Chain A
Amino acid sequence: MTRLRGRGISAVNYPTGMNLGGDPSQALIHATTTGNFVVTLSSVDLGQGLRTIMTQIAAEVLGVPPESVIIDTADTDTGPHCMGTFASRATHRIGNAIIMAATEARNALLDVAGEELEVAAADLETDGDGRIAVKGVPGKSISVLDAALAAHFKYGRTISGRGIYLKPRSYPDFETGAMDPDSCQAHACTIAEVEVDTETGEVRVLKLTSAYEIGRALNPMMVEQQIVGGSWMGMSHALYETTEPYYPDRAHGPVDFAEYLMPGPADIPQYDAVILERPSASGPFGAKGIGEMTANSPIPAIANAIFDACGVRIDELPITPEKLLRALDAAAVAPRR
């Protein structure tokens, strides 16, 4: 048995937002009588953590604790329009809509607080913990709860805001291809270390080391979830997955998880990553979409590492043991490389 090790790299970028734009999303925010804030959306959380990220963005702008933010989604009767969760657009589009709505709601909140404290709203600041204070005057403050109660029961005012984000649609020039397809680009560089068993054709991914540039890590724990889960999916695409193993022949398509191959808990590599932040001019707090990108960079890195290990190129995904063995056999007959 011969096990050969190799290392490969890849560097990629990934566009944020629906290709060519024209994909709006909205948010509505209102305060309850007791100073909690309901963010109403029609956006979908696929498991990537949309509700959590939107909570943090709303809390940041409103200047209140995340615990006092309630995300209400997705019901088309009550929630304003959202184009959907795809194309790494959710954080960017919905996040921006929430910033707009929360800014309006915050201004309404500070107006009421200013009247209660008899100062101009511009002289107020929030502490992010549920209080609104007069800048530079220690002790002169009001709780968000009291401001919300006063707004409702004393002034008869709503504390609310409306937000929408739209990147206007770009229409490509079909002569030259000129267009404005995206809002910003995230970046990744991945190094894969693999071990190829030249007798079985099996590839073991030992380690994936990556650097990701994502604009702003709004929640580092969610970022990490995307990195680890996405890297796994990339590895799975590189080595295992297809619904048509003999493409373009339609025969022998897998119909269940026993036949549709993916790496299991025994097959996972070591992960290591660093995060870079170059805030995007258009992103919420500079954030870019990263959910999709994390699955992309491992694929060519693994393919390049396989070549580095055993000197054969497989240019057809997935790189299965069968393809690898055939290529190794052919290379053994022909002179190497």
Chain B
Amino acid sequence: MSADITARIREDIFAAERAGVFRAVGRALPRIDARAHVSGSTRYYADRSFPGLLHVVMARSERHHALIGGIDLSAAEAVKGVVRILTHKDVPNNWYTILKLIGMGPDEEPVLAEDRVLYRGEPVAAVLAETADAAREAAGKVRIAYEDLPAVLDIEAAMLTDASAIKPHGSNLFIYDGRDHFHVHCGDTEAAFCEVEHILEHSYQSSPIEHAPVETTGAIAVPEPNGRYSIHSNTQAAFFTLDNAALILGVPFRHLRVIGGTVGGGFGGKVDVIVEPIAVLGAMRTGRPVKYAFSREEEMQVSSPRAAERIRIKDGVMADGRIIARDVRILVDAGAYSRHSPYGTIKAAAHMPGPYTVPNVTINAWCVYTNRTPSSAMRGFGVTIGDFAVEVQMDRIARLLGRDPFELRLQNAYRDGEMKPHRKKVEGAALVEVVQAAAERIGHSLPPEYRAMSSSRKG
């Protein structure tokens, strides 16, 4: 469908608002990096040679939740080619949290595990060796003594008051300003439920999903002659990486320099700051360039996935199709550490009740810790699974009432000037128009009153 894309812009819709004369903007210019991509000359972070490069392979927790009795490095250190093995004692500021710089505390994740592990795959000891093979062999010989603790893997179980708390603050829930969840409401949901013709309540569930970029997450740290370190990285956020790495390493920010910008796919998976601090620490301790790149297996199982979510929606619907009450309960499975999940949970709450105007809404969203790989941002962060829940729910309502699913959405669509539950006034809405345009595209005819609807006026 490539050549005719420009022809498929509906210039007749919002014609007055979109008017304008442009020369460079709006052109289907081929991407400026395409020729480099097809000729193989694009340079990603790993496409530079550094003499004396060392490779990191991480020894990881094999348990979901356990105390660490001891770490025996002797067999690993004996592997030919091993230069150094880093443990938590080597990390200047071992406890961090990634959103520290925007004030989302507390520091609650160790760079390398100390007396306990909270998920299978948690990093414990970083082996630096002359070759990746030697590092891999040695990482397999790091002996970790475990004393198993009960693992909390189910989010609902984690929320029970008698659940064993896996976090030091004594709960498995992130605390928002003294509350154990994030809350939004408008109107009076309880009262509205008493007036409606129909109540529909359903639960929706997702499982963790991997970003799966074809280029795995990685970085190369290179000592520079002036006491600085260059970090060649495929991070999605150069300064975010620099700032967090400097805080963890306890070095002045000016000692680090991040070079990147060309990434083999991200989808949110390269926003965490995981590989860079270890690579720089290795370079600091050995004086040599150090590469730390995830294997495909690590990318699949240890890099943070899209969170599993459990969403329950309870709707109050009138016989004419108006949804007048929506109560949403969102559980986000953060895994063992916060990463971006407390933030994503707020975003999930802000997104409800979807692109509809519902006068009475209650939203409660919990960010729940469990003994699994920490989840984090991914394309559609906080919204993807919510959209699934809301839109399947809309289909159920349409079927219950015997309504056309396009018409039901048009009837309830949000429009300019209306109020979202988080009390922001809607502007620039266009749900009505995309529903109309999509229906038209498949030849689904709408009655005149639905064709006449518009986002900029009610009716």
Contact = CB atoms under 8 A, between A and B. Distances in A.
Contacts of B207: 242-245, 247, 316-318
A243 to B, nearest CB: 5
A22 B433 contact: no
Given A44-B235, A301-B391, A304-B391, A177 B349 contact: yes
Contact of A233 (B257, B379, B414, B424): B379
Given A178-B422, A271-B1, A296 B237 contact: no
Contacts of A75: 238, 257-259, 261
A224 B396 CA distance: 31
Given A76-B239, A224-B2, A45 B33 contact: yes
B324 to A, nearest CB: 19
Nearest to A43: B261
A95 to B, nearest CB: 10
Interface of A: 8-15, 19-20, 22, 42-47, 49, 51-52, 55-57, 59-60, 63, 65-66, 71, 73-77, 79, 81-87, 128, 169, 172, 174-182, 184-185, 187-191, 209-213, 215-224, 228, 230, 233, 237, 241-245, 247-250, 253-257, 260, 262, 271-281, 285-286, 291-293, 295-297, 299-301, 303-304, 307, 313, 315-318
A248 B208 CA distance: 9
Interface in B340-398: 343-344, 346-347, 349-351, 354-355, 363, 370, 372-373, 377, 379-385, 387-388, 390-392, 394-396
18 contacts: A66-B27, A79-B238, A84-B238, A85-B236, A177-B363, A177-B422, A188-B434, A189-B434, A191-B442, A211-B434, A213-B433, A248-B155, A248-B308, A273-B8, A274-B441, A276-B433, A278-B13, A313-B392
B387 A55 contact: no
A16 B420 CA distance: 16
B300 A177 contact: no
A125 B433 CA distance: 37
Contacts of B383: 12, 14-15, 292, 296
B125 to A, nearest CB: 21
B24 interface: yes
B457 interface: no
A78 B421 CA distance: 43
Given A84-B271, A190-B438, A211-B438, A317 B206 contact: yes
Contacts of A59: 23-24
Given A52-B33, A174-B176, A245-B207, 19 more contacts: A43-B261, A44-B266, A49-B31, A60-B22, A76-B258, A86-B271, A188-B434, A211-B435, A242-B208, A249-B153, A276-B433, A277-B13, A278-B428, A278-B430, A279-B14, A296-B387, A300-B388, A315-B392, A317-B205
Nearest to A304: B395
Interface of B: 1-2, 5-6, 8-10, 13-14, 17-18, 20, 22-33, 64, 102, 120, 153-155, 176-179, 182-186, 202-210, 212, 235-240, 242, 256-268, 270-271, 296-297, 300-301, 305, 308, 333, 343-344, 346-347, 349-351, 354-355, 363, 370, 372-373, 377, 379-385, 387-388, 390-392, 394-396, 405-406, 409, 413-414, 421-424, 427-431, 433-439, 441-442, 455
Given A174-B177, A237-B209, A286-B18, A293 B380 contact: yes
B22 A285 contact: yes
Nearest to B364: A177
Contacts of B387: 10, 12, 296-297, 299-300
A211 B380 CA distance: 18
